[in-house]
Amino acid sequence: MKKDLLKMDDLSKEEILDILNLADQLKYELKHDIAHAHLKGKTLGMIFEKSSTRTRVSFEVGMYQLGGNGLFLSSRDLQIGRGEPVQDTARVLSRFLNGIMIRTFKQKEVETLAKYSSIPIINGLTDDEHPCQVLADLMTIREYKNTIEGLKVAYIGDGNNMAQSLMIGTLKTGMNFSIACPPDYTPKQEYILRAKELAEKEGTKFVITDSPKEAAMDADVLITDVWASMGQEGEAEIRKKAFKGFQINDELMGKAHSDAIVLHCLPAHRGEEITNEVIEAHQNEVFDEAENRLHAQKAVLVKLMK
């Protein structure tokens, strides 16, 4: 039976740790020129309805390093962009490819693609979820802290796809999670309820607040994202006013542990959700995090497509 990665909650704690362990191994092998052509002769179709830097490059390079091929498929070039039903596209591409990664807007489109395909589907980003980024974040946290169990992660900003996937991924792996966002920009209620359920199950803490200082208190990791994501450009000025005070800066860093790390999925709007000073002071973590997209996604590809 095929396995997909559509949302963070598709993975159990054990599966997440298994992916992280394999990602560490693949990273080590790459750094030491040890070939790992686990997907020799296999092809990943990569559908992009949203523009991308890190997602496209990391998946395409990752497939090459695994001995396979990454095929870029723009929605402008596919019949799906001209109104072909998703289920028909899924059935056709299943005959040609060994897996599909899709970066799009609606979560439902990814789920429909998975329902009608006979090959693994990977969510490269939707408006609801960004599981591949969160796996890279967890990998980075573990590299810097040597553990993830029991740490406190504080997310400051918009309750968007990153926040929602982070809530699930951190709490599921035994971390404490606090999120600070303006009242009108909280995560979806279904994610909040699931986060509370996971915290109770794992014996960890989940806090949602409108106070960045409360969220950042004694944090081991601080994370943020842009205030206006793709498709929300028209709301940028309104959001700037709503998110005033929800910035990772030196003052907020003072509430966290002195050895706290900072992560950002990029691209960053310096001077908005994070100051230039903070991101430069923590650029090692941020760009290790970006690199780890490659290693974490290669582990996902091997687990789903080998």
pLDDT tens for the chain, residues 1 to 306: 899 999 999 999 999 999 999 999 999 999 999 999 999 999 999 999 888 889 999 999 999 999 999 999 987 777 665 678 889 999 999 999 999 999 999 999 999 999 999 999 999 999 999 999 999 999 999 999 999 999 999 999 999 999 999 999 999 999 999 999 999 999 999 999 999 999 999 999 999 999 999 999 999 999 999 998 877 788 889 999 999 999 999 999 999 999 999 999 999 999 999 999 999 999 999 999 999 999 999 999 999 999
The residues annotated as belonging to the active site are 103, 130, 133, 225, 265, 293
104 is in an annotated binding site: no
Distance, CA of 154 to CA of 209 (rounded, Å): 11
* Same domain flag for 88 and 98: yes
Check: pTM over 0.85? Answer yes or no: yes
Phi then psi for residue 264, to 5 deg, are -150, 130
229 is in an annotated binding site: yes
Give the pair of three-digit tokens for residue 24.
């560490």
**For residues 86, 92, 94 and 97, what is the CA-based torsion angle, rounded to 10 degrees?**
-110
Distance, CA of 30 to CA of 225 (rounded, Å): 29
CATH number at residue 59: 3.40.50.1370
* Same domain flag for 119 and 268: no
55 is in an annotated binding site: yes
What residues make up the domain containing 123? Answer: 8-130+293-301
288 is in an annotated binding site: no
* Same domain flag for 284 and 137: yes
269 is in an annotated binding site: no
Which residue, chain included where needed, has tokens 């695994």? Answer: 66
Nearest to 135 by CA among 50, 2, 8, 38: 8
* Same domain flag for 247 and 141: yes
The number of domains in the chain is 2
Q: Which residues of 275-289 are buried (b: 16+ CB within 10 A; e: fewer)?
A: beebbeebeebbebb
